[in-house]
């Protein structure tokens, strides 16, 4: 199972802070994004970066590990 977290405006559009997604062998960050984008297109309009287990990931082709934590985030507005 992959834990997918959302915050701020993305969470508001998804309607939740957290989804649990079934893990598939070899699943990449891009594939996960594509799957969720289909279900939540309005939310993913805002997504511009992703993190895996607390680390920003630019390479979307990276395969995910089972039980990892993924966050799809919009541009930050802190400070």
Partner 1 sequence: MGELKNAVRIQLDDFSQDEEIRALQATSKRMGGIATFLGCARDFSEGREVSEISFDAYDRMALPEMQKLRTEAIERFGLLDARIIHRLGVVRAGDSIVFIATGAEHRAPALEACRWIIDELKERVPIWKKETTPQGDAWVTPHP
Total residue length of the chain: 79
19 binds partner 1 (CB under 8 A): no
Among 26, 38, 55, 59, binds partner 1 (CB under 8 A): 55
Among 19, 21, 51, 68, binds partner 1 (CB under 8 A): 51
Chain centroid, CA 38 distance in Å:
13
24 binds partner 1 (CB under 8 A): no
Q: Which residues pair with 47 in a beta bridge?
A: 74
47 binds partner 1 (CB under 8 A): yes
Q: Which is nearer to partner 1, 27 or 73 (CB)?
A: 73
Residues 26, 7: Cα–Cα separation, whole Å: 26
| Interface segment toward partner 1; rule CB under 8 A; list 21-29, 34-42, 52-60 | 52-60
Torsions phi, psi for 34 (to 5 deg): -60, -40
Chain centroid, CA 23 distance in Å:
13
């Amino acid at each position: 199972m992959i834990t997918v977290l959302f915050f701020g405006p993305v969470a508001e559009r998804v309607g939740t802070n957290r989804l649990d997604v079934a893990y598939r062998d070899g699943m990449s960050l891009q594939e996960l994004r594509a799957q969720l984008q289909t279900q939540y297109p309005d939310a993913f309009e805002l997504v511009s970066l992703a993190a895996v287990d607390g680390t920003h990931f630019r390479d979307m082709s990276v395969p995910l590990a089972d039980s990892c934590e993924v966050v799809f985030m919009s541009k930050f507005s802190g400070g």
